[in-house]
Amino acid sequence: MKTFVEGRYDVAVIGAGHAGCEAALACARLGLKTVMLTLNLDSIAFLACNPSIGGTGKGHIVREIDALGGEMGVNADKTAIQMRMLNEGKGEAVQSLRCQCDKNAYHREMKRTLENTENLKIVQCEAADILTEAGRVAGVVTTYGGIFNSRAVIIATGVYLNAETVTGELRKKSGPNGFAPATALTESLIKLGFNVRRFKTGTPARLDAKTVDFGKCQIQEGENGLPSFSFLNGKADKNSSVCHLTYTNGETHAIILNNLDRSPLYNGDITSTGPRYCPSIETKVVRFKDKDRHQIFLEPEGLDTNEIYVQGMSSSMPHETQKQMYRSVAGLENCDIMRYAYAIEYDCIDTLDVYPTLEYKKISGLYTAGQINGTSGYEEAAAQGLMAGINAAYKILGRPPFVLGRDEAYIGVMIDDLVTKGTEEPYRIMTSRAEYRLALRHDISDLRLTEKIADTALYTEQRRNIYERRKKLYAQALAEIDGKPERKDAAKTVNGIPVAGLSYADLIRRGCSLKDVCEAFGILKDFPDEIIKSAETTVKYDGYLKKTAQQIEKAKKLESKAIPADLDYDKIKGLRLEAREQLKRVRPLTLGQAGRIYGVNPADVTVLIVWLATQK
């Protein structure tokens, strides 16, 4: 095919899902001429599965994206139709925001933002080849022969690479929701040396709300008084819709078990690896035979549609089996299915081939982000897109790499897991993955991260004003809590605790709520609720936070000890064979990273420390 030059850019982003959107916006906002290529303009920021943003661990990441100048939190706030705080009955470290979004509005608002961003051009086309020159990326070629020359390329193709949907006996070359798959790019990735493998995910059916008997289900209301995802937006209070809860039953399970021979997951048709933490209803019924029911959440897809998302009941069963299965559930006896469930298989890469900056180790200036990196979830994808975008821009601008540590952000935990340990299944962020999660609370994401972008265009005047005000109020709140009651109040008791000689912080640490302390002594008047709650949490867990800080300092000693990129591990005597092979595969940049590699134990790290010391 004859080729022609479409244009010259600083950065070309392949894909317009959640990773692609954040990557393109970051590059453009940092002043780089950016082009974003997408198979279909109608699939920009498309919520292919549940139209929800946030959740346990994921909500932390959304607020971190916002703290670093990303767009996901802003867009979620614009289009939210229900907000909730998860895990309120547990510790503050694991509490996370979650919102149900209007699916179509989310796409429209993100598309509008992209279209009106300076330095950014959007083109509908399919990428076919990655151009390189002397070990550096040089641009992208489309299936139509168009060449987009660029100094950096970010691959954010989601689940579209050689995508196939599977439902019962039918296998179809298709992306999610009937969008066309990307069939040309994988061959180019293999030629460039990527290790390509197949992963799987799936989605449940969408039902017509008119045919659901919600009276047989439990109402799940939203919550008021919650903060927004974006620190720019104050309180959310967007609850224009409700969700419902119902359950599977013995009949549902019998239908599934009697039709397992027609399930692609169990008859051998699907051999790729699926997400462990979001299993299909078939897998749940087979794996947990002792359970007589499973939770099913009925969640609206938007305010302009009757479609209901059936969370907890994804499937790849044949259509007729799906109909029986869904109609066996209380409230769904007469439901009409508007979109049937399906599984989807797609190509992705091994992330041990990329640096913590998400740059490919073999080609300078080539980055990967999102589900091509083997992750699952909109939030994980968006975070990677933002980090890849910032790093691509920084490399072009001559700035140092931008890498977040495990002690700094859930984003840092996720990327370190991916590039150090890799993943053999679709990766999902969880609070349990973070060893310093008490220091990574979502409510202080901006206080942890925003100053890291303070010298960039991502730090807008609006963000600066809001951040500086929040930082000042937080410091003032902590200082006021650290004070002591006036003499006239020394004889008081709060919740049965004598006040004499104690500071307000002492009272909190002894079990008093900050609300009770404020009412008793009139402190923290006119402070925002979220600032008060953040300050209370910090004071309450002060001892644990100090221990965490000590652990972080100890770990940083290893993180600060660099390992030469060209180190010949075969020359180091005393390394076990497994450790040697893993170190050669991952090529860790620091001793800290080396210690987190599967197959490398503390004794191996000690050998490395001694060897590096003797070389010096």
pLDDT tens digits along 587-612 = 999 999 999 999 999 999 999 999 98
Classify the phi-psi angles of 225: left when phi > 0, otherwise alpha if psi is within -120 to 50, otherwise beta. left
Distance from the Cα of residue 36 to its chain's centroid: 21
Q: What would the two tokens of residue 573 be? A: 């005597």
- Determine the Cα–Cα distance for residues 367 and 428; give it in Å rounded to an integer: 20
Q: What would the two tokens of residue 335 be? A: 């439901």
Distance from the Cα of residue 415 to its chain's centroid: 10
Q: Residue holding tokens 């299936």?
A: 143
Summarize the confidence of residues 507-536 as an average pLDDT.
90
Stated pTM of the model: 0.96
Q: Residue holding tokens 């979830």?
A: 377
Q: What would the two tokens of residue 234 be? A: 């104050």
- Determine the Cα–Cα distance for residues 56 and 14; give it in Å rounded to an integer: 29
The segment(s) of the chain belonging to CATH 3.50.50.60 are 4-117+131-156+360-398+405-453
List, in order, residues 6 or more apart from 591 with CB less than 8 Å away.
558, 559, 561, 563, 605, 608, 609, 612
Q: Which of 447-461, 494-508, 533-547 has the lowest mean pLDDT?
A: 494-508
CATH topology of domain 206-343: Elongation Factor Tu (Ef-tu); domain 3 (2.40.30)
List, in order, residues 6 or more apart from 384 with CB less than 8 Å away.
19, 156, 358, 369, 370, 373, 375, 414, 415
Cα distances from 349 to residues 159, 199, 352, 421, 538, in angstroms, run 11, 10, 9, 14, 40
Q: What is the pLDDT of residue 235?
A: 76
Q: Rounded to the nearest 10 degrees, what angle do helices 250-258 and 319-327 cross at?
A: 170
For the chain, percent of residues with pLDDT exceeding 70? 100
List, in order, residues 6 or more apart from 418 with CB less than 8 Å away.
351, 354, 373, 374, 375, 427
User: Is pLDDT above 70 for 533?
Assistant: yes
- How does pLDDT run across 7-55, given as a tens digit for each residue? 999 999 999 999 999 999 999 999 999 999 999 999 999 999 999 999 9
CATH topology of domain 561-615: DNA polymerase; domain 1 (1.10.150)
Mean confidence (pLDDT) of the chain: 95
The SS3 assignment for 95 reads: coil
- Determine the Cα–Cα distance for residues 238 and 270; give it in Å rounded to an integer: 40
User: Is pLDDT above 90 for 495?
Assistant: no
The segment(s) of the chain belonging to CATH 1.10.150.570 are 561-615
Nearest residue to 352 (alpha-carbon basis) of 162, 579, 598 = 598
Summarize the confidence of residues 280-288 as an average pLDDT.
95
Q: What is the pLDDT of residue 616?
A: 66
Distance from the Cα of residue 109 to its chain's centroid: 20
Summarize the confidence of residues 351-366 as an average pLDDT.
97
Q: What is the pLDDT of residue 278?
A: 86
Q: Which of 20-24, 187-191, 481-485 has the lowest mean pLDDT?
A: 481-485
User: Is pLDDT above 90 for 308?
Assistant: yes
The SS3 assignment for 266 reads: coil
User: Is pLDDT above 90 for 1?
Assistant: no
| Residue 106, burial from CB neighbour count under 10 angstroms (0-12, 13-18, 19+) | buried
Summarize the confidence of residues 410-415 as an average pLDDT.
97
Q: What would the two tokens of residue 26 be? A: 């970051």
Summarize the confidence of residues 309-315 as an average pLDDT.
97
Provide the H-helix boundaries in 55-155. 58-67, 72-79, 103-115
Summarize the confidence of residues 365-376 as an average pLDDT.
98
Enter the DSSP assignment of 260. G
Cα distances from 109 to residues 103, 178, 207, 389, in angstroms, run 10, 22, 25, 20
- How does pLDDT run across 138-162, given as a tens digit for each residue? 999 999 999 999 999 999 999 999 9
List, in order, residues 6 or more apart from 189 with CB less than 8 Å away.
130, 155, 196, 347, 349
Q: What is the pLDDT of residue 276?
A: 86
Q: What is the pLDDT of residue 116?
A: 98
Q: Residue holding tokens 């083109």?
A: 123
- Determine the Cα–Cα distance for residues 151 and 148; give it in Å rounded to an integer: 10
User: Is pLDDT above 80 for 61?
Assistant: yes
Please tell me the CATH superfamily of domain 4-117+131-156+360-398+405-453, with its number.
Answer: FAD/NAD(P)-binding domain (3.50.50.60)
Q: What is the pLDDT of residue 461?
A: 97
Q: What is the pLDDT of residue 296?
A: 98
Q: What is the pLDDT of residue 496?
A: 82
The SS3 assignment for 170 reads: strand
- Determine the Cα–Cα distance for residues 563 and 578; give it in Å rounded to an integer: 18
- Determine the Cα–Cα distance for residues 474 and 478; give it in Å rounded to an integer: 6
Note whether 104 and 305 are within 8 A (CB): yes
- Determine the Cα–Cα distance for residues 581 and 350; give it in Å rounded to an integer: 16
- Determine the Cα–Cα distance for residues 6 and 20; give it in Å rounded to an integer: 20
User: Is pLDDT above 90 for 83?
Assistant: yes
Beta strand 243-247 with 295-300 is antiparallel
Cα distances from 172 to residues 165, 168, 179, 186, 342, in angstroms, run 5, 11, 12, 18, 10
- Determine the Cα–Cα distance for residues 506 and 514; give it in Å rounded to an integer: 11
Which helix H or strand E contains 133, and what residues bound it?
A: strand 127-133
Note whether 245 and 297 are within 8 A (CB): yes
Q: What would the two tokens of residue 18 be? A: 């959640």
Q: What is the pLDDT of residue 565?
A: 85
Note whether 577 and 607 are within 8 A (CB): no
Q: Which CATH number fits domain 461-548: 3.30.465.10, 3.40.50.1820, 3.40.718.10, 1.10.10.1800?
A: 1.10.10.1800
- How does pLDDT run across 315-356, given as a tens digit for each residue? 999 999 999 999 999 999 999 999 999 999 999 999 999 999
Beta strand 307-311 with 206-208 is antiparallel
Summarize the confidence of residues 388-406 as an average pLDDT.
97
